[in-house]
């Protein structure tokens, strides 16, 4: 039987010996973080200030942009400190906090995208009843439920993990991963595993069903519509589909390489995969929605022009 040790810190062994190139990585990551903060904050401010954007689609986007800032803040500052440092050790308290923040970010992102697909479905398939169904009160309630549900779900999971006795303290990643932390436990973990599967099902399988159902209905409407309607629907849904595919593919590869860690893969590639969906999504979403959606572009121009005049 393996003896449990009361560890108070976790070593993140995913960081390679970068030498002087660490300053290059530090500069690139800092630039990415600043761009993410600027782009997401700008669009949140634009949606908040422009009353013409106080519609369901833009309110859901605002929730998405707030979540990008939340997830990025849980990752980037710690990543920057560890890149520049020779010591890649974090406290157990910090590790659990980062796990909570990053995993709730992922769950909120996915549920946000699911609710947005439902909104597009109602807008395209039921345009005459859309304004009565998707009221501001209902939209705010859906957004609040998404955030509250994810926080409650993962609060329970983290509280279960807090009771685990760890036989090791090395995680082969550059951020604290819940699955790898549970693997370090030498205490009873079936309850954690069962609840983890439940959370995965309720926050991944069910939203996926809603997304597929919504886009199935949209495709059916588009198939029987004229060319102009098809083009309008495609322009409206394209950013959402790209965002959904990018995030889903990133999550899939991250889960795949984490669960099958016996697969031979260069350390750099493994690190890139584990960071891709956490770094790319907060950068992609504001740029893509800002460029693709005419109303947001116009509102941004008005804000920039007003700042110049001031």
Tell me, what's the pLDDT at 3?
52
Mean pLDDT, the chain, rounded, equals 84
**pLDDT for the residue 262:** 58
13-62 tens-digit pLDDT: 888 777 788 899 899 999 999 999 999 998 998 888 888 888 888 999 99
Q: Give me the pLDDT at residue 261, please.
A: 64
User: Looking at the predicted structure, is the pLDDT value of residue 2 above 50?
Assistant: no
pLDDT at residue 189 is higher than 80: no
Residue pair 84/22 in contact by the 8 Å Cβ criterion = yes
The structure tokens 């983290």 sit at 158
Exposure pattern of 247-281 as b/e (b: 16+ CB <10 Å)? bbebbeebeeebeeeeeeeeeeebbebbbbbbbeb
Query: Nearest Cα to 105, choosing from 140, 138, 65, 134?
Result: 65
Helix, strand, coil percent content, the chain, rounded in steps of 5: 80, 5, 20
Cα(304)–Cα(62) distance, rounded to whole angstroms? 19
Domain ranges of the chain: 9-309
> What's the whole-number mean pLDDT along residues 255-260?
75
pTM of the model: 0.89
259-264's contacts with Cβ under 8 Å and 24+ in sequence apart are: 259/179, 261/172
pLDDT band at 6 (very low <50, low <70, confident <90, very high): low
* Residue 1 scores a pLDDT above 50: no
Per residue in 72-105, pLDDT (tens digit) is 999 999 999 999 888 888 889 999 999 999 999 9
The residues with which 11 forms a beta bridge, in sequence order, are 89, 170
Mean pLDDT of the region 187-206: 80
Would the CA dihedral through 263, 268, 274, 280 be positive or negative?
negative
| pLDDT (tens digit per residue) in 199-248 | 878 777 888 888 888 888 888 877 777 777 667 777 777 788 888 888 88
Would you state the pLDDT for residue 256? 79
H helix intervals, 50-177: 56-84, 92-125, 130-133, 136-161
**Residue 183's pLDDT band (boundaries 50, 70, 90)?**
confident
Question: Would you identify the CATH topology of the domain 9-309?
Answer: Rhopdopsin 7-helix transmembrane proteins (1.20.1070)
Q: What is the mean pLDDT of the segment spanning 274-281?
A: 89
């Amino acid at each position: 039987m393996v003896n449990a040790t009361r560890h108070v810190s976790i070593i993140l062994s995913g960081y390679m010996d970068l030498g002087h190139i660490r300053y290059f990585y530090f500069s690139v990551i800092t630039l990415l973080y600043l761009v993410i903060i600027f782009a997401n904050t700008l669009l949140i401010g634009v949606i908040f200030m422009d009353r013409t954007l106080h519609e369901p689609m833009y309110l859901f986007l605002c929730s998405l942009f707030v979540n990008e800032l939340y997830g990025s803040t849980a990752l980037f500052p710690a990543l920057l400190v560890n890149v520049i440092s020779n010591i890649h050790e974090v406290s157990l308290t910090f590790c659990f906090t980062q796990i909570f923040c990053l995993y709730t970010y992922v769950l909120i992102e996915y549920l946000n995208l699911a609710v947005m697909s439902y909104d597009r479905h109602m807008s395209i398939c039921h345009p005459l009843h859309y304004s009565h169904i998707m009221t501001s009160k209902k939209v705010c309630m859906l957004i609040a439920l998404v955030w509250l549900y994810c926080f409650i779900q993962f609060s329970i999971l983290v509280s279960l993990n807090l009771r685990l006795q760890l036989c090791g303290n090395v995680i082969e990643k550059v951020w604290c991963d819940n699955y790898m932390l549970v693997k370090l436990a030498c205490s009873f973990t079936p309850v954690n595993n069962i609840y983890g599967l439940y959370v995965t099902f309720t926050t991944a399988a069910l939203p996926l069903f809603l997304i597929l159902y919504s886009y199935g209905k949209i495709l059916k409407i588009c198939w029987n519509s004229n060319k102009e309607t098809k083009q309008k629907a495609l322009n409206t849904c394209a950013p959402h589909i790209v965002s959904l595919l990018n995030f889903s593919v990133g999550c899939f590869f991250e889960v795949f390489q984490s669960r099958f860690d016996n697969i031979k893969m260069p350390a750099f590639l493994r690190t890139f995969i584990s960071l891709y969906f956490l770094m790319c999504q907060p950068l992609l979403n504001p740029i893509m929605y800002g460029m693709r959606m005419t109303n947001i572009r116009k509102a941004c121009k008005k804000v920039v022009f007003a700042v110049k005049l001031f």
